[in-house]
Amino acid sequence: MSTIQTEVQPPFPEQSRLEDLVHEVITQARRLGADGVEAGVSMDTGLSVTVRLGETETLEYSRDRGLGLTVYFDHRKGSASTADFGPESLSATVRAACDIARYTNSDPCAALADPARMATAIPDLDLYHPWPINAEQAIGVARECEDAARGVDARIVNSEGATLSSYVGLRVMGNSHGFLGGYKTSRHSISCAVVGRQGEEMQRDHWYFAARDHHDLEAPAAVGRTAGERTIQRLGTRRLSTRRVPVVFAADVAGGLFGNFISAVKGGNLYRNASFLVDHLGRQVFPGFMHIHEQPLLKKALGSAPYDTEGVATQARDIVSDGILRSYVLDSYAACRLGMATTGNAGGVRNLVIDPGGKDLPALLRAMDTGLLVTELIGFGVNLVTGDYSRGVAGFWVEGGEIRHPVDEITIAGNLKDMFLGIVEVGNDVDLRGNVRCGSVLIEQMTVAGA
Protein backbone atom coordinates (compact mmCIF):
# COMPACT_ATOMS: atom_id res chain seq x y z
CA MET A 1 0.00 0.00 0.00
CA SER A 2 2.88 2.38 0.59
CA THR A 3 3.72 2.63 -3.12
CA ILE A 4 0.28 3.83 -4.15
CA GLN A 5 0.48 6.67 -1.63
CA THR A 6 3.64 7.95 -3.30
CA GLU A 7 3.39 11.52 -4.47
CA VAL A 8 4.23 12.24 -8.10
CA GLN A 9 7.63 13.63 -7.26
CA PRO A 10 10.35 13.65 -9.92
CA PRO A 11 12.58 10.62 -9.22
CA PHE A 12 15.07 12.02 -11.69
CA PRO A 13 18.84 12.11 -11.41
CA GLU A 14 20.55 15.38 -12.10
CA GLN A 15 20.18 16.36 -15.74
CA SER A 16 23.97 16.38 -16.03
CA ARG A 17 24.02 12.60 -15.39
CA LEU A 18 21.71 11.99 -18.35
CA GLU A 19 23.81 14.35 -20.45
CA ASP A 20 26.82 12.23 -19.55
CA LEU A 21 24.95 9.10 -20.75
CA VAL A 22 24.12 10.74 -24.07
CA HIS A 23 27.68 11.95 -24.50
CA GLU A 24 29.04 8.48 -23.71
CA VAL A 25 26.96 6.60 -26.30
CA ILE A 26 27.73 9.22 -28.94
CA THR A 27 31.44 8.84 -28.19
CA GLN A 28 31.22 5.04 -28.38
CA ALA A 29 29.42 5.15 -31.73
CA ARG A 30 32.00 7.52 -33.17
CA ARG A 31 34.74 5.15 -32.08
CA LEU A 32 33.00 2.39 -34.02
CA GLY A 33 33.11 4.49 -37.17
CA ALA A 34 29.78 6.32 -37.26
CA ASP A 35 30.07 9.66 -39.04
CA GLY A 36 26.82 10.92 -37.53
CA VAL A 37 25.16 10.07 -34.20
CA GLU A 38 22.13 11.29 -32.27
CA ALA A 39 20.87 9.99 -28.94
CA GLY A 40 18.11 10.79 -26.50
CA VAL A 41 17.23 9.76 -22.96
CA SER A 42 13.77 10.09 -21.41
CA MET A 43 12.49 9.51 -17.88
CA ASP A 44 8.82 9.81 -16.89
CA THR A 45 6.72 9.22 -13.82
CA GLY A 46 3.00 9.59 -13.32
CA LEU A 47 -0.13 8.89 -11.33
CA SER A 48 -3.53 8.11 -12.87
CA VAL A 49 -6.75 7.48 -10.94
CA THR A 50 -10.25 6.69 -12.21
CA VAL A 51 -13.36 6.79 -10.05
CA ARG A 52 -16.62 5.32 -11.37
CA LEU A 53 -19.95 5.54 -9.56
CA GLY A 54 -18.14 6.79 -6.50
CA GLU A 55 -15.74 3.85 -6.27
CA THR A 56 -12.07 3.69 -7.20
CA GLU A 57 -11.88 1.72 -10.44
CA THR A 58 -8.22 2.04 -11.41
CA LEU A 59 -5.11 3.42 -9.78
CA GLU A 60 -1.83 3.38 -11.67
CA TYR A 61 1.59 4.64 -10.74
CA SER A 62 4.06 4.57 -13.62
CA ARG A 63 7.78 5.06 -13.96
CA ASP A 64 9.47 4.67 -17.33
CA ARG A 65 12.83 5.38 -18.84
CA GLY A 66 14.58 4.72 -22.11
CA LEU A 67 17.52 5.59 -24.32
CA GLY A 68 17.34 5.70 -28.10
CA LEU A 69 20.29 5.95 -30.49
CA THR A 70 20.54 6.56 -34.24
CA VAL A 71 23.80 6.28 -36.16
CA TYR A 72 24.81 7.03 -39.75
CA PHE A 73 27.58 5.39 -41.76
CA ASP A 74 27.89 7.23 -45.08
CA HIS A 75 24.09 7.80 -45.27
CA ARG A 76 23.26 4.31 -44.00
CA LYS A 77 21.07 4.49 -40.92
CA GLY A 78 20.69 2.22 -37.89
CA SER A 79 18.72 2.66 -34.67
CA ALA A 80 18.50 0.80 -31.35
CA SER A 81 17.10 1.46 -27.88
CA THR A 82 17.27 0.20 -24.32
CA ALA A 83 15.74 0.76 -20.90
CA ASP A 84 18.86 -0.54 -19.14
CA PHE A 85 21.39 2.21 -18.47
CA GLY A 86 24.10 -0.15 -17.28
CA PRO A 87 27.48 0.11 -19.08
CA GLU A 88 27.21 -3.30 -20.76
CA SER A 89 23.68 -2.64 -22.02
CA LEU A 90 24.63 0.78 -23.37
CA SER A 91 27.62 -0.66 -25.21
CA ALA A 92 25.46 -3.45 -26.66
CA THR A 93 22.89 -0.90 -27.82
CA VAL A 94 25.56 1.15 -29.58
CA ARG A 95 26.94 -1.95 -31.30
CA ALA A 96 23.46 -3.02 -32.36
CA ALA A 97 22.72 0.36 -33.97
CA CYS A 98 26.05 0.31 -35.80
CA ASP A 99 25.53 -3.28 -36.99
CA ILE A 100 22.08 -2.40 -38.34
CA ALA A 101 23.46 0.61 -40.22
CA ARG A 102 26.08 -1.52 -41.96
CA TYR A 103 23.33 -3.68 -43.49
CA THR A 104 20.98 -0.91 -44.65
CA ASN A 105 20.94 0.73 -48.06
CA SER A 106 22.54 4.11 -48.51
CA ASP A 107 20.08 7.01 -48.75
CA PRO A 108 21.55 10.42 -49.64
CA CYS A 109 19.03 12.14 -47.37
CA ALA A 110 19.75 9.96 -44.33
CA ALA A 111 21.87 12.21 -42.12
CA LEU A 112 21.76 14.51 -39.13
CA ALA A 113 20.07 17.87 -39.51
CA ASP A 114 22.09 20.88 -40.65
CA PRO A 115 24.56 21.78 -37.85
CA ALA A 116 23.88 25.48 -38.44
CA ARG A 117 20.23 24.91 -37.40
CA MET A 118 20.99 23.35 -34.01
CA ALA A 119 19.62 25.07 -30.93
CA THR A 120 22.43 26.97 -29.23
CA ALA A 121 20.42 28.04 -26.18
CA ILE A 122 17.56 26.34 -24.31
CA PRO A 123 15.07 29.00 -23.20
CA ASP A 124 13.04 28.42 -20.05
CA LEU A 125 9.48 27.92 -21.31
CA ASP A 126 8.01 27.31 -17.83
CA LEU A 127 6.93 23.77 -18.74
CA TYR A 128 7.65 22.04 -15.43
CA HIS A 129 5.15 22.20 -12.57
CA PRO A 130 5.03 18.94 -10.57
CA TRP A 131 1.84 18.33 -8.60
CA PRO A 132 2.55 16.95 -5.10
CA ILE A 133 -0.62 14.88 -4.96
CA ASN A 134 -0.87 11.37 -3.54
CA ALA A 135 -3.26 8.58 -4.48
CA GLU A 136 -5.80 9.33 -1.75
CA GLN A 137 -5.96 13.00 -2.71
CA ALA A 138 -6.24 12.14 -6.40
CA ILE A 139 -9.15 9.80 -5.69
CA GLY A 140 -10.87 12.63 -3.81
CA VAL A 141 -10.45 15.03 -6.75
CA ALA A 142 -11.79 12.48 -9.25
CA ARG A 143 -14.73 11.66 -6.99
CA GLU A 144 -15.58 15.36 -6.63
CA CYS A 145 -15.57 15.68 -10.42
CA GLU A 146 -17.82 12.68 -10.99
CA ASP A 147 -20.21 13.65 -8.17
CA ALA A 148 -20.70 17.06 -9.80
CA ALA A 149 -21.46 15.43 -13.16
CA ARG A 150 -23.94 12.94 -11.69
CA GLY A 151 -25.65 15.71 -9.72
CA VAL A 152 -26.48 17.87 -12.74
CA ASP A 153 -29.79 16.18 -13.51
CA ALA A 154 -31.77 13.14 -12.42
CA ARG A 155 -31.53 11.91 -16.02
CA ILE A 156 -27.82 11.19 -15.50
CA VAL A 157 -28.16 7.45 -14.89
CA ASN A 158 -24.66 6.06 -15.38
CA SER A 159 -21.04 7.04 -15.57
CA GLU A 160 -17.94 6.06 -17.50
CA GLY A 161 -15.93 7.60 -14.67
CA ALA A 162 -13.79 10.59 -13.84
CA THR A 163 -10.02 10.43 -14.24
CA LEU A 164 -7.19 12.48 -12.82
CA SER A 165 -3.75 12.09 -14.42
CA SER A 166 -0.49 13.75 -13.44
CA TYR A 167 2.81 13.19 -15.23
CA VAL A 168 6.29 14.68 -15.15
CA GLY A 169 9.21 13.94 -17.42
CA LEU A 170 12.81 14.77 -18.23
CA ARG A 171 14.28 14.50 -21.73
CA VAL A 172 17.86 14.98 -22.82
CA MET A 173 19.18 14.67 -26.36
CA GLY A 174 22.40 15.31 -28.18
CA ASN A 175 24.23 14.61 -31.43
CA SER A 176 27.70 14.51 -32.91
CA HIS A 177 27.33 18.08 -34.17
CA GLY A 178 27.94 19.09 -30.57
CA PHE A 179 24.30 19.77 -29.68
CA LEU A 180 23.34 18.70 -26.14
CA GLY A 181 20.19 19.86 -24.37
CA GLY A 182 17.39 18.84 -22.08
CA TYR A 183 14.41 20.09 -20.13
CA LYS A 184 11.69 18.92 -17.75
CA THR A 185 7.96 18.91 -18.46
CA SER A 186 4.69 18.23 -16.66
CA ARG A 187 1.13 17.56 -17.77
CA HIS A 188 -1.97 17.27 -15.61
CA SER A 189 -5.56 16.56 -16.61
CA ILE A 190 -9.05 15.95 -15.24
CA SER A 191 -11.77 14.31 -17.34
CA CYS A 192 -15.26 12.92 -16.89
CA ALA A 193 -17.86 11.12 -19.03
CA VAL A 194 -21.44 10.30 -17.99
CA VAL A 195 -24.55 8.74 -19.52
CA GLY A 196 -28.03 10.25 -19.58
CA ARG A 197 -31.42 8.63 -20.25
CA GLN A 198 -34.72 10.06 -21.45
CA GLY A 199 -37.33 7.41 -22.10
CA GLU A 200 -35.66 4.72 -24.19
CA GLU A 201 -32.95 7.07 -25.44
CA MET A 202 -29.48 7.09 -23.90
CA GLN A 203 -26.67 9.53 -24.66
CA ARG A 204 -23.18 10.13 -23.31
CA ASP A 205 -20.81 13.04 -23.42
CA HIS A 206 -17.68 14.17 -21.65
CA TRP A 207 -15.45 17.09 -20.74
CA TYR A 208 -11.82 17.46 -19.75
CA PHE A 209 -9.16 20.01 -18.95
CA ALA A 210 -5.39 19.76 -19.25
CA ALA A 211 -2.52 22.07 -18.30
CA ARG A 212 1.19 22.13 -17.48
CA ASP A 213 0.43 23.58 -14.03
CA HIS A 214 -2.32 22.01 -11.91
CA HIS A 215 -3.21 25.49 -10.64
CA ASP A 216 -4.36 26.30 -14.18
CA LEU A 217 -6.84 23.41 -14.35
CA GLU A 218 -10.56 24.04 -14.18
CA ALA A 219 -12.02 23.12 -10.80
CA PRO A 220 -12.95 19.42 -10.65
CA ALA A 221 -16.61 20.25 -10.00
CA ALA A 222 -16.67 22.60 -13.00
CA VAL A 223 -15.29 19.86 -15.28
CA GLY A 224 -17.92 17.46 -13.96
CA ARG A 225 -20.80 19.90 -14.33
CA THR A 226 -19.82 20.62 -17.93
CA ALA A 227 -19.72 16.88 -18.70
CA GLY A 228 -23.16 16.44 -17.15
CA GLU A 229 -24.67 19.47 -18.90
CA ARG A 230 -23.29 18.38 -22.28
CA THR A 231 -24.83 14.96 -21.80
CA ILE A 232 -28.27 16.30 -20.89
CA GLN A 233 -28.21 18.69 -23.87
CA ARG A 234 -27.86 15.69 -26.20
CA LEU A 235 -31.09 14.02 -25.05
CA GLY A 236 -34.05 14.31 -27.41
CA THR A 237 -32.12 13.80 -30.66
CA ARG A 238 -33.80 13.86 -34.04
CA ARG A 239 -32.75 12.75 -37.49
CA LEU A 240 -32.09 15.04 -40.44
CA SER A 241 -32.86 14.49 -44.09
CA THR A 242 -30.02 14.92 -46.58
CA ARG A 243 -29.33 18.57 -47.43
CA ARG A 244 -26.60 21.13 -48.10
CA VAL A 245 -26.26 23.67 -45.30
CA PRO A 246 -23.70 25.84 -43.49
CA VAL A 247 -21.82 24.02 -40.74
CA VAL A 248 -20.17 25.28 -37.55
CA PHE A 249 -17.47 23.09 -36.03
CA ALA A 250 -17.37 23.76 -32.26
CA ALA A 251 -13.94 24.82 -30.99
CA ASP A 252 -13.14 21.50 -29.32
CA VAL A 253 -13.54 19.61 -32.63
CA ALA A 254 -12.49 22.34 -35.07
CA GLY A 255 -8.84 21.71 -34.31
CA GLY A 256 -9.17 18.43 -36.18
CA LEU A 257 -9.75 20.31 -39.42
CA PHE A 258 -6.42 22.05 -39.06
CA GLY A 259 -4.79 18.79 -38.05
CA ASN A 260 -5.90 17.49 -41.48
CA PHE A 261 -4.37 20.59 -43.07
CA ILE A 262 -1.04 20.06 -41.30
CA SER A 263 -1.00 16.43 -42.44
CA ALA A 264 -1.50 17.62 -46.00
CA VAL A 265 1.51 19.97 -45.85
CA LYS A 266 3.85 17.57 -44.02
CA GLY A 267 6.96 16.72 -45.91
CA GLY A 268 6.45 12.95 -45.80
CA ASN A 269 3.12 13.19 -47.60
CA LEU A 270 4.44 15.79 -50.03
CA TYR A 271 7.50 13.96 -51.33
CA ARG A 272 5.40 10.80 -51.69
CA ASN A 273 2.80 12.78 -53.70
CA ALA A 274 0.22 11.63 -51.17
CA SER A 275 -1.42 15.00 -50.49
CA PHE A 276 -4.02 17.13 -52.22
CA LEU A 277 -1.80 20.16 -51.45
CA VAL A 278 1.28 19.01 -53.39
CA ASP A 279 2.79 22.01 -55.24
CA HIS A 280 0.50 24.47 -53.46
CA LEU A 281 3.26 26.54 -51.84
CA GLY A 282 2.53 30.20 -52.54
CA ARG A 283 -1.06 29.48 -53.56
CA GLN A 284 -4.35 30.49 -51.98
CA VAL A 285 -5.65 27.66 -49.78
CA PHE A 286 -7.76 29.64 -47.27
CA PRO A 287 -9.73 32.90 -47.42
CA GLY A 288 -7.62 36.04 -47.29
CA PHE A 289 -8.37 36.76 -43.63
CA MET A 290 -6.86 33.47 -42.44
CA HIS A 291 -3.59 33.47 -40.50
CA ILE A 292 -2.21 30.13 -39.29
CA HIS A 293 1.10 30.17 -37.48
CA GLU A 294 3.28 28.11 -35.17
CA GLN A 295 4.26 29.44 -31.75
CA PRO A 296 6.52 26.81 -30.17
CA LEU A 297 7.99 29.09 -27.52
CA LEU A 298 4.82 30.05 -25.65
CA LYS A 299 5.35 29.75 -21.93
CA LYS A 300 3.41 26.99 -20.15
CA ALA A 301 1.69 25.89 -23.37
CA LEU A 302 1.09 22.18 -23.89
CA GLY A 303 2.77 22.12 -27.30
CA SER A 304 5.84 24.19 -26.49
CA ALA A 305 9.40 22.94 -27.03
CA PRO A 306 12.72 24.79 -27.45
CA TYR A 307 13.95 22.41 -30.16
CA ASP A 308 12.55 19.63 -32.34
CA THR A 309 13.40 15.94 -32.13
CA GLU A 310 16.52 16.52 -34.27
CA GLY A 311 17.86 19.32 -32.06
CA VAL A 312 16.87 22.05 -34.53
CA ALA A 313 15.85 25.26 -32.77
CA THR A 314 12.13 25.96 -32.94
CA GLN A 315 10.84 29.41 -33.77
CA ALA A 316 7.60 31.27 -34.40
CA ARG A 317 6.69 31.23 -38.08
CA ASP A 318 3.80 31.65 -40.48
CA ILE A 319 2.39 28.65 -42.27
CA VAL A 320 -0.53 30.54 -43.83
CA SER A 321 -0.88 34.31 -44.08
CA ASP A 322 -3.46 36.22 -46.11
CA GLY A 323 -4.87 32.78 -46.88
CA ILE A 324 -1.73 31.81 -48.83
CA LEU A 325 0.35 28.74 -48.00
CA ARG A 326 3.72 30.21 -47.05
CA SER A 327 5.55 27.17 -45.67
CA TYR A 328 5.45 23.41 -45.51
CA VAL A 329 6.03 21.37 -42.32
CA LEU A 330 9.40 19.65 -42.74
CA ASP A 331 11.97 17.66 -40.86
CA SER A 332 15.46 17.40 -42.30
CA TYR A 333 14.85 14.18 -44.23
CA ALA A 334 11.68 15.40 -45.96
CA ALA A 335 13.34 18.75 -46.64
CA CYS A 336 16.23 16.97 -48.36
CA ARG A 337 13.83 14.92 -50.49
CA LEU A 338 12.06 18.11 -51.54
CA GLY A 339 15.24 20.11 -52.10
CA MET A 340 14.31 22.48 -49.28
CA ALA A 341 15.47 23.31 -45.73
CA THR A 342 14.04 21.88 -42.51
CA THR A 343 11.40 24.04 -40.84
CA GLY A 344 12.25 22.65 -37.38
CA ASN A 345 9.26 20.33 -37.36
CA ALA A 346 10.76 16.92 -36.67
CA GLY A 347 8.13 15.48 -34.35
CA GLY A 348 5.34 17.74 -35.66
CA VAL A 349 4.09 21.28 -35.20
CA ARG A 350 4.09 22.91 -31.77
CA ASN A 351 1.28 25.23 -30.72
CA LEU A 352 -0.54 25.73 -34.01
CA VAL A 353 -2.45 29.03 -33.70
CA ILE A 354 -5.41 29.94 -35.90
CA ASP A 355 -6.09 33.63 -35.41
CA PRO A 356 -9.67 34.23 -34.22
CA GLY A 357 -12.24 36.68 -35.48
CA GLY A 358 -14.48 38.83 -33.33
CA LYS A 359 -17.48 36.54 -32.74
CA ASP A 360 -18.12 34.04 -29.96
CA LEU A 361 -20.03 30.81 -30.64
CA PRO A 362 -23.55 32.27 -30.16
CA ALA A 363 -22.67 35.08 -32.59
CA LEU A 364 -21.34 32.56 -35.12
CA LEU A 365 -24.62 30.65 -34.88
CA ARG A 366 -26.55 33.86 -35.51
CA ALA A 367 -24.35 34.56 -38.52
CA MET A 368 -25.04 31.04 -39.81
CA ASP A 369 -28.80 31.46 -39.18
CA THR A 370 -29.81 27.94 -40.26
CA GLY A 371 -27.48 24.96 -40.33
CA LEU A 372 -25.62 22.37 -38.29
CA LEU A 373 -23.47 22.79 -35.18
CA VAL A 374 -21.03 19.87 -34.93
CA THR A 375 -19.91 18.93 -31.42
CA GLU A 376 -18.61 15.39 -31.98
CA LEU A 377 -16.79 13.69 -34.85
CA ILE A 378 -17.09 9.92 -35.24
CA GLY A 379 -14.82 7.62 -37.22
CA PHE A 380 -12.13 8.58 -39.69
CA GLY A 381 -13.02 9.34 -43.30
CA VAL A 382 -10.34 11.67 -44.66
CA ASN A 383 -8.48 10.93 -47.90
CA LEU A 384 -5.38 13.14 -47.91
CA VAL A 385 -4.58 12.26 -51.52
CA THR A 386 -7.87 13.65 -52.86
CA GLY A 387 -8.99 15.82 -49.94
CA ASP A 388 -12.31 13.99 -49.72
CA TYR A 389 -13.83 14.33 -46.25
CA SER A 390 -16.65 12.27 -44.75
CA ARG A 391 -17.25 11.89 -41.02
CA GLY A 392 -20.03 10.72 -38.78
CA VAL A 393 -21.09 13.52 -36.45
CA ALA A 394 -23.37 14.49 -33.60
CA GLY A 395 -24.43 17.99 -32.73
CA PHE A 396 -27.34 20.40 -32.91
CA TRP A 397 -29.68 21.74 -35.56
CA VAL A 398 -29.79 25.55 -35.64
CA GLU A 399 -32.59 27.75 -36.99
CA GLY A 400 -32.82 31.51 -36.75
CA GLY A 401 -29.43 31.52 -35.09
CA GLU A 402 -30.70 29.46 -32.14
CA ILE A 403 -30.15 25.82 -31.22
CA ARG A 404 -33.42 23.93 -31.80
CA HIS A 405 -32.64 20.29 -31.02
CA PRO A 406 -29.80 17.76 -30.88
CA VAL A 407 -29.08 15.50 -33.86
CA ASP A 408 -27.08 12.31 -34.33
CA GLU A 409 -26.61 9.39 -36.73
CA ILE A 410 -25.74 11.79 -39.53
CA THR A 411 -22.72 12.25 -41.79
CA ILE A 412 -21.13 15.39 -43.16
CA ALA A 413 -19.17 15.34 -46.40
CA GLY A 414 -17.14 17.65 -48.59
CA ASN A 415 -13.65 18.18 -49.92
CA LEU A 416 -11.01 19.73 -47.65
CA LYS A 417 -9.81 22.10 -50.37
CA ASP A 418 -13.35 23.49 -50.75
CA MET A 419 -13.94 23.43 -46.99
CA PHE A 420 -10.80 25.45 -46.27
CA LEU A 421 -11.64 28.04 -48.91
CA GLY A 422 -15.24 28.06 -47.66
CA ILE A 423 -14.39 29.13 -44.11
CA VAL A 424 -16.52 32.19 -43.35
CA GLU A 425 -15.17 33.01 -39.90
CA VAL A 426 -13.21 31.63 -36.96
CA GLY A 427 -14.69 32.30 -33.54
CA ASN A 428 -12.94 33.85 -30.55
CA ASP A 429 -13.89 30.95 -28.24
CA VAL A 430 -10.37 29.56 -28.53
CA ASP A 431 -9.73 26.11 -27.06
CA LEU A 432 -6.35 26.21 -25.26
CA ARG A 433 -6.32 22.63 -23.98
CA GLY A 434 -4.10 21.13 -26.66
CA ASN A 435 -1.54 21.69 -29.39
CA VAL A 436 -4.01 23.40 -31.79
CA ARG A 437 -5.34 26.75 -30.57
CA CYS A 438 -8.53 27.38 -32.48
CA GLY A 439 -12.02 28.76 -32.00
CA SER A 440 -15.25 27.49 -33.56
CA VAL A 441 -15.23 27.49 -37.37
CA LEU A 442 -18.12 28.44 -39.68
CA ILE A 443 -17.97 26.80 -43.12
CA GLU A 444 -20.17 28.17 -45.87
CA GLN A 445 -21.72 24.89 -47.00
CA MET A 446 -21.37 21.12 -46.67
CA THR A 447 -23.49 18.09 -47.45
CA VAL A 448 -25.30 16.65 -44.45
CA ALA A 449 -26.54 13.10 -44.99
CA GLY A 450 -29.21 11.82 -42.65
CA ALA A 451 -32.11 9.37 -42.63
Residues 281-315: tens digit of each pLDDT: 999 999 999 999 999 999 999 999 999 999 999 99
Q: Is 157 exposed, middle or buried (CB count within 10 Å of its CB: 0-12, 13-18, 19+)?
A: middle
Choose the final residue of a domain: 174, 206, 232. Answer: 232
Q: What are 127-179's pLDDT values in tens digits?
A: 999 999 999 999 999 999 999 999 999 999 999 999 999 999 999 999 999 99
227 and 370 belong to one structural domain = no
Q: What is the pLDDT of residue 380?
A: 84
Amino acid, res. 59: L
CA distance 241 to 450: 5
Q: Are residues 74 and 51 in the same domain?
A: yes
Average pLDDT over residues 410-438: 97
CATH number where 228 lies: 3.30.2290.10
For residues 149 and 185, membership in a common domain is answered with yes
- Residue 379 has a pLDDT of 86
pLDDT at 378 over 50: yes
Q: Kindly tell me if the per-residue pLDDT of 372 is higher than 50.
A: yes
Supply the range of the domain harboring residue 71.
3-232
The predicted model gives 61-87 an average pLDDT of 97
C-alpha–C-alpha distance, residues 337 and 417, integer Å: 25
Amino acid present at 288:
G
Share of residues in the chain with pLDDT > 90 (%)? 95
| pLDDT cut 70: percent of the chain above it | 97
Give 354's strand partners: 292
Are 362 and 428 in a shared domain? yes
- Same domain? For 206 and 317 the reply is no
Regarding whether 279 and 195 lie in a shared domain, the answer is no
- Please tell me whether residues 448 and 343 are part of one structural domain: yes
- In terms of domains, do 22 and 67 share one? yes
Single residue among 232, 267, 292 that ends a domain in this structure: 232
Residues 295 and 187 in one domain: no
Single residue among 204, 232, 260 that ends a domain in this structure: 232
| pLDDT band at residue 11 using 50, 70 and 90 as cut-offs | low
Count structural domains, the chain: 2
Is there a single domain that holds both residue 205 and residue 66? yes
Residue 4 is predicted with a pLDDT of 36
Q: What is the arithmetic mean of pLDDT over 321-328? A: 98
Q: How far lies 231's CA from each of 145, 154, 155, 159, 225, in Å?
A: 15, 12, 9, 11, 10
- Residues 132 and 246 placed together within one structural domain of the fold: no
- pLDDT for 10: 54
Per-residue pLDDT, 14: 87
Q: What is the mean pLDDT of residues 107-133?
A: 96
Q: Same domain, yes or no, for 220 and 243? A: no
